[in-house]
Amino acid sequence: MLRVLNTVERSKGVSEEEALKILIRDCVRVDRLTEFFQASEVAHHFSKKGPVAGVPTINTSSTSETLSTQVARRTYALRNRIVHAKDDPRYAATPQLLPRSAEANSLGPDIRLARFLALEAVIDNQD
């Protein structure tokens, strides 16, 4: 419980995206995150050639950003494409993600990633 409180305390006053980065870094085991991205269909989905535009790619070999940071950035950007609809000019450069679109229909790996992150956070806080 103390670890959760420490994570929340460090997140105070930072942006939502930064808070997500802290949460993933603190609660998701790096080895499990790396394992998640080793499946071949997952690797393609999260690459530059993947079916979802307007969100950061994930490169497990990157030396400039940790895997947890890349995952947080993508998750937050995807959330913004879903949540921030047509009327918010801050997100005008990236089109919203519409239900039943080809992109929405291809979100399976991103949904599995979000579920994985949630489960890891819960498991981490059970110790």
For helices 108-124 and 67-83, the axis angle rounded to 10 degrees is: 120
Q: Which two tokens stand for residue 84?
A: 């921030």
Please state the separation of Cα 66 from the chain's center in Å. 13
Number of domains observed in the structure of the chain: 1
**Scanning the structure block, which residue is given the tokens 């005008």?**
92
List of residues 6+ apart from 15 with CB closer than 8 A: none
Among 16-25, 52-61, 92-101, 104-113, the range scoring the smallest mean pLDDT is: 92-101
Question: Model confidence over 28-86: pLDDT tens digits?
Answer: 999 999 999 987 678 889 999 999 988 999 999 999 999 999 999 999 999 988 887 55
pLDDT of 67 reads 96
Domain of 77, in residue numbers = 2-124
d(CA 115, CA 71): 13
Going by C-alpha positions, the residue among 17, 112, 119, 118 that lies closest to residue 69 is: 17
Specify the pLDDT at position 16. 86
Residue among 13, 33, 15 nearest 25 (CA): 33
Q: Which residues have a Cβ under 8 Å from the Cβ of 74 and sit 6 or more positions away?
A: 46, 55, 56, 57, 58, 110
pTM of the model: 0.83
